[in-house]
Amino acid sequence: MTQELTLIRPDDWHLHLRDGAVLHGVLPETARHFARAIIMPNLVPPVVTGADAAAYRDRILAALPEGAAFTPLMTLYLTEATDPADVAAAQASGLVKAVKLYPAGATTNSHGGVHDTDKVMPVLEKMAEIGLPLCVHGEVTTPEVDIFDREAVFIDTVLDPLRRRLPGLRVVMEHITTEQGVAYARAGGPDLGATITTHHLILNRNHILVGGIKPHYYCLPVAKRERHRLALREAATSGEARFFLGTDSAPHVDALKEQACGCAGCFTATNTLPLLAHVFEQDGALDRLEAFTSRNGPAFYRLPVNEAHLRLVKHQTPQAWPEKIFTEAGPVTVFNPGFPVFWHVES
C-alpha cells in the first residue's frame, strides 16, 4: 500500500475567495497548498472590466499571509455590455486568463449574467480569435426545467449550439455534475476542458436530503444521483487531459448558509488534497492524482506546470482539520466528508 505521495504543487482552476473580511479569512486555506487559482469574478459588484480585475488582484495579494507563494489568475464576469476591446487588452497584459459566463440567476451573485447569448457574440468572437478561454456555469435557469436536469439541458440547448456556431472558442465546462457532462466533455475535442469539484466526487443528492436537510452540502450545480457521482469519479481518476481540478470552494458565513433560504456552496479549500487522495486511493488511481491536480489544468490553460512539490502521507490516525474557519464576518464551516481521512499534507 502506498503510504507517501509526492505531487507537483497543484492549482485550483475554479475558486471563490469573496472579498473583504471573508477574503482575508479564507485565502490562507488555499495559499497553503495551491500555487495558483482561477479566481471567480462574481463579487458585488462583479469584476467586469480589466480595471476591476486589477483592483481585485491587488486586494488578494494584499491579503496573502507573509511568505505565501500563491498567484491569483484573474477572470472577467461576462455581461451583455462587456467590451471586446477591454477583454482583449486585459488578456494581452497578462492579467486575465479567462472570462466567466453565468446564465443570469444560475447561482450566487449571478443576477448580472447573460440572458441572451446573441448579445455577447462580439465578445465571444474576440475570445475565439485571441484564444482566451470561456468558463461556463453550465445550467439553464428557465423555471420549467427541473433543477436536476439543468446541466444536461444547458449542454443540448446552449453549449453545443454555441460551440457549433463558434468552433474556435476554447471552453471550460466548470463543475460538471452529470454523466451527460462527462460524455460531452469527452467528445468535445482539444478546445473543450472540464473541471470537477472535490465535493461532487463525494456527495450525491441523498447526502443533502436524507435524515434532514444538510445546508453545508447544498451547492450549485446541486449534487445529483449516485450514477452521476460515479461517472465523475471515473472521469477524474482516468488521467484524461480534458478533466482537471476546480474545487469551486465557495465560502459563505454560517449565518447565510443556515437559514430558510440558504446560500449555495461547499467550502473545501482546507481539506481538498487529503480528500482527493482518499478518493483516488479508493479507486486504485493514486498514480493519476497528479494529472488531475497539477498537470491537466496548466496544459489546457497553456501555462507551465509548477516547479514546487508537496508531499501527502498516509497515517494510522485520521486527519483532523478545523470544523470552522473564523473570519471577521463570521464563521465558515469546512466541508465534512462524513468519513475518516488518513491522508495528510506534510510539505
The pLDDT, as a whole number, for residue 109 is 59
Neighbouring residues of 211: CB distance < 8 A, sequence distance ≥ 6: none
**Numbers of helices and strands, H then E, in the chain:** 13, 13
Q: Give the residue ranges of the chain where pLDDT is below 50.
A: none
Summarised one tens digit per residue, pLDDT across range 28-71 is: 999 999 999 999 999 999 999 999 999 999 999 999 999 999 99
Q: Which three cell numbers stand for residue 60?
A: 488578494
> Rounded to the nearest 10 degrees, what angle do helices 179-187 and 226-236 cross at?
30
Burial tier of 144 (Cβ tally within 10 Å: 0-12, 13-18, 19+): exposed
- Residue 39 near residue 78, CB atoms below 8 Å: no
Give the model's pLDDT for residue 162.
96
Q: Which of 156, 248, 254, 287 is catalytic?
A: 248
DSSP letters along 166-228, please?
A: STT--EEEET--SHHHHHHHHHS-TTEEEEE-TGGGT--HHHHHTTS--GGG--SSPP--HHH
Query: At how many degrees (to 10) do helices 84-92 and 121-130 cross?
Result: 30
Beta bridge partners of 171: 134, 192
Q: What's the pLDDT at 235?
A: 98
Q: What pLDDT does 110 receive?
A: 63
Contacts of 178 (CB under 8 A, 6+ apart): 151, 152, 224, 228, 231
Superfamily for the 4-345 domain: Metal-dependent hydrolases (3.20.20.140)
- Cβ atoms of 229 and 205 closer than 8 Å: no
Nearest to 285 by CA among 223, 322, 233, 327: 233
Give the sign of the dihedral formed by CA 78, CA 82, CA 158, CA 155: negative
Q: Residue 338: phi, psi to the nearest 5?
A: 85, 10
- Tell me the three cell numbers of residue 134: 470561456
pLDDT of residue 91: 98
DSSP 319: P
pLDDT of residue 103: 86
The pLDDT of residue 70 is 98
pTM surpassing 0.95? yes
Whether 248 sits among the annotated catalytic residues: the reply is: yes
| Distance separating alpha carbons of residues 148 and 160, to the nearest angstrom | 19
The string of pLDDT tens digits covering residues 133-158 is: 999 999 999 999 999 999 999 999 99
Where do the domains of the chain lie?
4-345
324 vs 330: CA distance, rounded Å: 10
What three-state secondary structure class fits 239? coil
Q: Is the peptide bond before 221 cis (omega within 30 degrees of 0)?
A: yes
